[in-house]
Structure 1
Amino acid sequence: MEIQNPTDVDHLAPQIWPVYETVFGDFESYDLWRTDLYDRHAARDGFRLVTAVDDSTLVGFGWGYTGERGQYWSDLVCNSLPEAITDEWVGGHFEVVELAVLPGYRGQGVGRALHDKLLEPVTARCLLSTTDDPADPAVRLYLSSGWRKLGVLRPGVQVMGRPAR
């Protein structure tokens, strides 16, 4: 298993899509996902992508970028959490947007390796949203990696933050 930090993210989209579709399944087609999510995020300041490759097969990925007020998710957080929290956390933060591992590769440290590689050079405070189920493996990963719950985005979904390093 190799964890990579590729620089040419455009050519990887067709390899990332099947993993994204398997894990999340929330887009009708590759074309919609590509234009409405992947390309839009890849164009953001501070975009970083990491991949997990087993032999020549992409089995996991993670990406994020620098989040700012005026962006959809940052503004959603500002409208959902107390002002004292958002004043401290939102704007100039690194936003972990996606972290996905194919089901057959879970429980082997792939998610942690992707998380760590994605955040390795990041010195800013970090934000993400995830389930608020403490038994969820993603939540356990984040808590064991220095993240903490900042508040509730909507029922069943929390915002987590990791302080700047």
Structure 2
Amino acid sequence: MEIQSPTDVDHLAPQIWPVYATVFGDFESYELWRADLFDRHAARAGYRLLTAVDGSRPAGTTLAGFGWGYTGQRGQFWSDLVCNSLPKAITDEWVGGHFEVVELAVLPEYRGQGVGRALHDKLLESVTGRCLLSTSDDPGDPAVRLYLSSGWRKLGVLRPGVQVMGRSAA
């Protein structure tokens, strides 16, 4: 498995979409996902995209997973949602200028092989300061276990079933 940091994100969107749709399934079409999420995020300051590529398949390369994030600021939808959901003392410390892990996805057939951890670690490799993400609050969820074992901690509840986690990068 090779973790790549592609520079031509525009070209990769059609390859990332099937993985996104399989893992999350929250957009009706590629066009909506592209306009409402992918392109908007790719234009943000500090944007990083990583892909996990399996070159061992006979047909060539297969995208096994991806991750992306950017520098989050107040005035952005998710940052403001966090500010409206968590206590002010927490948001004053954590929200604004933080690195936001927005998406981390691995196809089911590649899970349990360290792909998610490799994406996570590479995505945060040179990040200094505060990092935020939202995820399930189910302690049995593999993503939650990954984050907890990587130094993340629960900061509060975004909505029932969804927590906000934070990590101070060294």
| TM-score under structure 2 length normalisation | 0.96
- Who is 2:133 aligned against? 128
Amino acid at match of 2:167: R
- Who is 2:3 aligned against? 3
What CA deviation, in whole Å up to 9, does each residue of 1:73-106 have, x standing for no partner?
0000000000000000000000000000000000
- Who is 2:63 aligned against? 58
- Who is 1:14 aligned against? 14
Instruction: State the SS of the aligned residue for 1:128.
Output: strand
Distance across 1 between alignment mates of 2:130 and 2:122:
16
- Who is 2:91 aligned against? 86
Distance across 2 between alignment mates of 1:27 and 1:154:
20
- Who is 2:58 aligned against? none
Distance across 1 between alignment mates of 2:29 and 2:169:
37
- Sequence identity (%): 87
Distance across 1 between alignment mates of 2:7 and 2:156:
34
Distance across 2 between alignment mates of 1:159 and 1:29:
27
Instruction: State the SS of the aligned residue for 2:129.
Output: coil
Tell me how many residue pairs correspond in the alignment.
165
Return structure 1 stretches of 4+ with deviation > 4 angstroms: none
User: Tell me, which stretches of 5 or more residues in structure 1 are unaligned?
Assistant: none
Distance across 1 between alignment mates of 2:44 and 2:95:
16
Offset at residue 164 of structure 1 (A): 3.2
Structure 2 residue 73 is matched with structure 1 residue 68: yes
Structure 2 residue 27 is matched with structure 1 residue 27: yes
In proportion to residue count, which structure has more strand?
A: 2
User: Tell me, which stretches of 5 or more residues in structure 2 are unaligned?
Assistant: 56-60
Structure 2 residue 167 is matched with structure 1 residue 157: no
| TM-score under structure 1 length normalisation | 0.99
